[in-house]
């Protein structure tokens, strides 16, 4: 059996899930696999000085949270393997773009989980069938300009057009033009977003609202 050398943190917001993963891993003959943290805090996981983190995609709402968590970990040289009970292409795509090395569903077998962890330990991409299928089926995101993105974030945060205009130092008419372009671009990729709520939902799926209202 391949021996896996890794200091692993398991970060999941469901106690039964994370303890179950710990139990399965510790029951196998992997003496060089040390589980250094099991819990629901990225901060505490980082403090445990892991070489890799098995990170729950549902730890926080939206793709932006996944991307932020992955960015914090990978910036410290920590390998990230995403895990989830649900297929959320936007969130998983966001995490991969932020440096995660792979994704496995929570229904994964021990052998597949070990294979994925081995890839992460070697700093290699683990492109599973689930990940490849999910990325291939992910909805196309519109190509927004920086100013369109600024207008979208501020408007989606709840500000009125006049307030957005003041923040961007432009006229309300220009803000409306930017938002109309955003709506048209979402329409063009087959994702109509006519209302503020629909814009928020679609932009959140794409991980575009991490700085909304800031």
Tens digit of pLDDT for each residue in 59-73?
Answer: 866 667 888 899 999
Q: Is CATH 1.10.10.10 the right assignment for the domain spanning 146-205?
A: yes
Q: Which residue has the higher pLDDT, 188 or 48?
A: 48
The answer for residues whose C-beta is within 8 angstroms of residue 152's C-beta and 6 or more apart is 144, 178, 179, 182, 199, 203, 208
Flag the least confident range among 45-49, 72-76, 133-137, 179-183: 133-137
Instruction: Supply the pLDDT for residue 15.
Output: 94
Would you say residue 84 has pLDDT above 70?
Answer: yes
Reference 104, options 130, 122, 80, 69; nearest CA is: 130
Q: What is the CATH number of domain 6-136?
A: 3.40.50.2300
Q: Which residue has the higher pLDDT, 11 or 85?
A: 11
Enumerate the domain spans of the chain.
6-136, 146-205
Look at the alpha carbons of 151, 155, 160, 163 in this order and tell me if their dihedral is positive or negative.
Answer: negative
Q: Is the pTM of this model over 0.85?
A: no
**Six-digit token pair at 19?**
């303890």
CB 131 within 8 A of CB 102: yes
Burial 173-188 (b: 16+ CB within 10 A, else e): eebeebbebbbebbee
Question: One fold for both 6-136 and 146-205?
Answer: no
């Amino acid at each position: 059996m391949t021996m896996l050398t890794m200091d692993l943190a398991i970060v999941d917001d469901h106690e039964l899930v994370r303890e179950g993963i710990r139990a399965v891993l510790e029951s196998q003959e992997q003496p060089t696999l040390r589980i250094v943290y099991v819990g629901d805090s990225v901060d505490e996981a980082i403090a445990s000085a892991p070489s890799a983190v098995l990170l729950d995609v549902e730890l926080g709402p939206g793709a932006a949270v996944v991307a932020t968590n992955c960015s914090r970990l990978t910036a410290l040289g920590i390998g990230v393997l995403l895990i989830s009970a649900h297929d959320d292409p936007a969130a998983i795509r966001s995490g991969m773009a932020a440096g995660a090395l792979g994704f496995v569903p929570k229904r994964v077998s021990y052998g597949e989980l070990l294979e994925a962890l081995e890839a992460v330990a070697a700093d290699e991409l683990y492109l599973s069938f689930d990940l490849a299928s999910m990325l291939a089926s992910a909805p196309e995101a519109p190509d927004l300009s920086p100013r369109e993105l600024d207008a979208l974030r501020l408007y989606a945060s709840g500000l009125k057009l006049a307030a957005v205009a003041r923040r961007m130092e432009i006229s309300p008419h220009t803000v409306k033009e930017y938002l109309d372009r955003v709506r048209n671009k979402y329409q063009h990729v087959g994702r109509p977003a006519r209302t503020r709520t629909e814009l928020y939902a679609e932009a959140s799926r794409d991980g575009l609202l991490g700085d909304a209202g800031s």
